[in-house]
């Protein structure tokens, strides 16, 4: 009997590579044939790989066409939302409204199983999403496993520690969409009305410029400190490179994953950035530039603010930062506060999320016979493909998508950031095996069309 085959969509390597590989490792150990597929390549690769199921990183209107296509091909659709822990206390992204929108937009019709990070969203979906109890699972998020003692060994260490400056403004400083109107459309497709989207966008834009000015003042005030400016993976780095070019004690870089840099920093300085929660998981103190904040933005995603030390002036920010760098880590964020603020959104702190997700998926995935795959392949899993998509489908059919992806990525550096280098993935997978002291043999390598032309996906299976 053949192995069951699962495709895992990797949307953002700078955020999810290690977590995706941990999940793949756990699934492969359970006898699953795993295929890690770059997000931009899924439209052509999913129909070609003969999968039984696909694990998507989100369920939104933007990928409804793909979900419809996958279901029509006979695949099971699992959702493991890469932003499932960040929920709002107001507006369309509250747990209740999120769940209701999933039903009203018909997204729930194309979901077989939904894996949740925390009880708040899980409970709301149980009431309002239209999903059945057996379709919903409280699992946690695999990428947080590296915050535990076992898998933390996967994180790199550096000789020089730094103060981490994190920005989170992809909507007003976008790397990929490139325009305000496109970002506003993204907000609306996520369930936000136009009026709220424009108000939110306006306030985020004001904070964006204020925050960069505050960081300049902070860097100038502390010439003896070394700073690492890490833009959001979906932000355009050019703005920060130009903004901080005159300062010798700061570097702008968005390499690796957030936990890689948190492992080597003194503290985190941010405003409304989800990495504040990541910092708490790592035992690092997040300092929020609160005096430039705005209620509209703060309440949109309140958790980063709730878990941070709020500074109300540059003087206070300097004072708190110097205290931490000097080694005084005393503060008021207790385990009780962690339970109060974080636990509803992040159910587990045991660093066993990848194993838990793999158990849920492996127990529910079924062997399927694909149907209509060529129809969807030549339509690139779209309802209304353009002529260029049909031409791409023909070229990829004969010569594989890997060659064309590599050429396009060399031309478009921004697109390239959505693809994880094969060597880096292989290196991480070997580290996972070493940390787990595994003596098992695995096949880890790129898929190939006709056994010759490379695809962009990577196959991981236990031999």
Element (H, E) at 113: strand 113-116
Question: Is residue 392 domain-shared with residue 270, that is, in the same domain?
Answer: no
Question: Is residue 284 domain-shared with residue 386, that is, in the same domain?
Answer: no
C-beta contacts of 200-207 below 8 A and 24+ residues apart: 200/296, 200/297, 200/300, 201/171, 201/172, 203/294, 203/296, 203/297, 204/169, 204/171, 204/172, 204/297, 205/172, 206/294, 207/169, 207/271, 207/272, 207/292, 207/293, 207/294, 207/297
CA distance 411 to 394: 21
Q: List, for residues 267-281, the tens digit of each pLDDT value.
A: 999 999 999 999 999
Over the Cα atoms of the chain, what is R_g? 22
Average pLDDT over residues 124-153: 96
CA distance 458 to 405: 14
Question: Is residue 355 domain-shared with residue 318, that is, in the same domain?
Answer: no
Nearest CA among 144, 195, 148, 198 for reference residue 171: 198
pLDDT of residue 423: 93
Give domain status of residue 125, yes or no: no
pLDDT band with cut points at 50, 70 and 90 for residue 85: confident
Q: Above 80 in pLDDT, residue 184? A: no
Give domain status of residue 111, yes or no: no
CA distance 46 to 401: 12
Do 221 and 314 touch, CB atoms closer than 8 A?
yes
DSSP 241-302: HHHTTT-TTEEE---S-HHHHHTTEEEEEESS-THHHHHHHTT-EEEEEGGG--HHHHHHS-
pLDDT of residue 88: 82
Q: How many residues does the chain have?
A: 463
Residue where a domain terminates, one of 295, 318, 341: 341
Q: Above 80 in pLDDT, residue 105? A: yes
Residue where a domain terminates, one of 341, 369, 388: 341
CATH classification at residue 298: 3.40.50
Q: Both tokens of residue 408?
A: 């396009």
Question: Is residue 56 domain-shared with residue 186, that is, in the same domain?
Answer: no
Question: Which distant-in-sequence residues (6+ apart) come within 8 Å of 26 by Cβ?
Answer: 354, 355, 357, 358, 359
Question: Is residue 335 domain-shared with residue 364, that is, in the same domain?
Answer: no
pLDDT band with cut points at 50, 70 and 90 for residue 200: confident
pLDDT of residue 79: 98
CA distance 413 to 429: 25
Question: pTM of this prediction?
Answer: 0.92
Average pLDDT over residues 432-461: 94
Looking at the 3D structure of the chain, how many domains does it have?
2
Distance of alpha carbon 230 from its chain centroid, rounded? 15
Question: Is residue 50 domain-shared with residue 175, that is, in the same domain?
Answer: no
Q: Both tokens of residue 29?
A: 């150990």
Q: List, for residues 50-74, the tens digit of each pLDDT value.
A: 999 999 999 998 899 999 999 999 9
Give domain status of residue 108, yes or no: no
Q: pLDDT: is 332 or 409 the higher one? A: 409
pLDDT of residue 207: 97
Question: Is residue 326 domain-shared with residue 361, that is, in the same domain?
Answer: no
Mean pLDDT, the chain, whole residue set: 92
User: In Å, what is the CA distance from 44 to each residue of 48, 154, 401?
Assistant: 7, 32, 8
Give domain status of residue 251, yes or no: yes
Question: Is residue 274 domain-shared with residue 375, that is, in the same domain?
Answer: no
Vertex 339: Cα angle to 334 and 341 (nearest 5): 90
Residue where a domain terminates, one of 341, 367, 393: 341
CA distance 128 to 124: 6
Task: Specify burial of residue 331 (Cβ count, 10 A radius: 0-12, 13-18, 19+).
Answer: exposed
Question: Is residue 231 domain-shared with residue 182, that is, in the same domain?
Answer: yes
Give domain status of residue 20, yes or no: yes
pLDDT of residue 178: 64
Q: pLDDT: is 413 or 233 the higher one? A: 233
Give domain status of residue 368, yes or no: yes
Question: Is residue 335 domain-shared with residue 373, that is, in the same domain?
Answer: no
Q: Above 90 in pLDDT, residue 177? A: no
Q: Above 80 in pLDDT, residue 187? A: no
CA distance 59 to 48: 22
Element (H, E) at 14: helix 13-29
Q: List, for residues 351-393, the tens digit of each pLDDT value.
A: 999 999 999 999 999 999 889 999 999 999 998 899 999 999 9
Q: What number of other Cβ atoms are within 10 A of residue 332's Cβ?
A: 6
Question: Is residue 165 domain-shared with residue 309, that is, in the same domain?
Answer: yes
Q: Above 90 in pLDDT, residue 313? A: yes
Domain extent for 455: 5-82+141-145+351-462
Nearest CA among 162, 140, 135 for reference residue 151: 140
User: In Å, what is the CA distance from 70 to each residue of 53, 382, 387, 404?
Assistant: 9, 11, 21, 23
Question: Which distant-in-sequence residues (6+ apart) come within 8 Å of 182 by Cβ?
Answer: 174
């Amino acid at each position: 009997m053949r192995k069951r085959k699962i495709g895992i969509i990797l949307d953002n390597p700078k955020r999810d590579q290690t977590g995706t590989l941990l999940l793949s490792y756990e699934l492969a150990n359970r006898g699953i044939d795993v295929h890690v597929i770059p997000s931009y390549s899924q439209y052509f690769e999913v129909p070609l790989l003969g999968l039984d199921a696909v694990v998507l990183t989100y369920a939104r209107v933007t990928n409804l066409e793909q979900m419809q296509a996958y279901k029509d091909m006979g695949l099971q659709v699992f959702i493991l939302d890469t932003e499932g822990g960040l929920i709002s206390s107001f507006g369309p992204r509250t747990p209740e409204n999120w769940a209701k929108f999933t039903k009203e937009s018909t997204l729930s019709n194309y979901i077989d199983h939904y894996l949740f990070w925390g009880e708040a969203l899980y409970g709301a979906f149980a009431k309002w999403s239209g999903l059945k109890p057996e379709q919903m699972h409280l699992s946690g998020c695999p990428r947080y496993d590296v915050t535990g003692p076992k898998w933390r060994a996967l994180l790199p260490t550096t000789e020089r520690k730094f103060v981490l400056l994190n920005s989170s403004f992809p909507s007003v400083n976008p790397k990929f969409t490139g325009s305000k109107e496109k970002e506003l459309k993204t907000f609306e497709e996520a369930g936000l009305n136009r009026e709220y989207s424009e108000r939110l966008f306006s306030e985020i834009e004001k904070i964006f410029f204020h925050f960069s000015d505050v960081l300049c003042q902070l860097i100038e005030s502390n010439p003896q400190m070394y700073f690492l400016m890490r833009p959001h993976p979906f932000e355009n780095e050019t703005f920060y490179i130009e903004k901080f070019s005159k300062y010798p004690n700061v570097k702008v870089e968005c390499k690796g994953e957030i936990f890689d840099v948190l492992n080597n920093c003194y503290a985190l300085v941010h405003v409304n950035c989800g990495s504040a929660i990541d910092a708490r998981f790592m035992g690092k103190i997040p300092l929020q530039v609160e005096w430039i904040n705005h209620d509209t933005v703060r309440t949109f995603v309140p958790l980063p603010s709730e878990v941070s030390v709020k500074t109300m002036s540059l003087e206070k920010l300097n004072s708190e930062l110097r205290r931490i760098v000097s080694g005084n880590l005393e503060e008021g964020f207790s385990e009780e506060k962690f339970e109060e603020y974080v636990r509803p959104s992040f159910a587990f702190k045991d660093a066993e999320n990848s194993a838990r997700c793999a158990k849920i998926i492996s127990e529910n995935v079924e062997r399927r016979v694909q149907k209509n795959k060529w129809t969807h392949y030549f339509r690139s899993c779209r309802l209304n493909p353009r002529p260029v998509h049909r031409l791409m489908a023909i070229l990829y059919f004969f010569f594989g998508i890997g060659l064309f992806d590599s050429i396009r990525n060399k031309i478009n550096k921004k697109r390239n950031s959505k693809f994880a280098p094969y060597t880096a993935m292989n290196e991480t997978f070997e580290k996972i095996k070493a940390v787990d002291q595994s003596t098992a043999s695995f096949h880890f390598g790129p898929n190939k069309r006709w056994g010759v032309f490379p695809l962009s996906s990577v196959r991981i299976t236990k031999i």
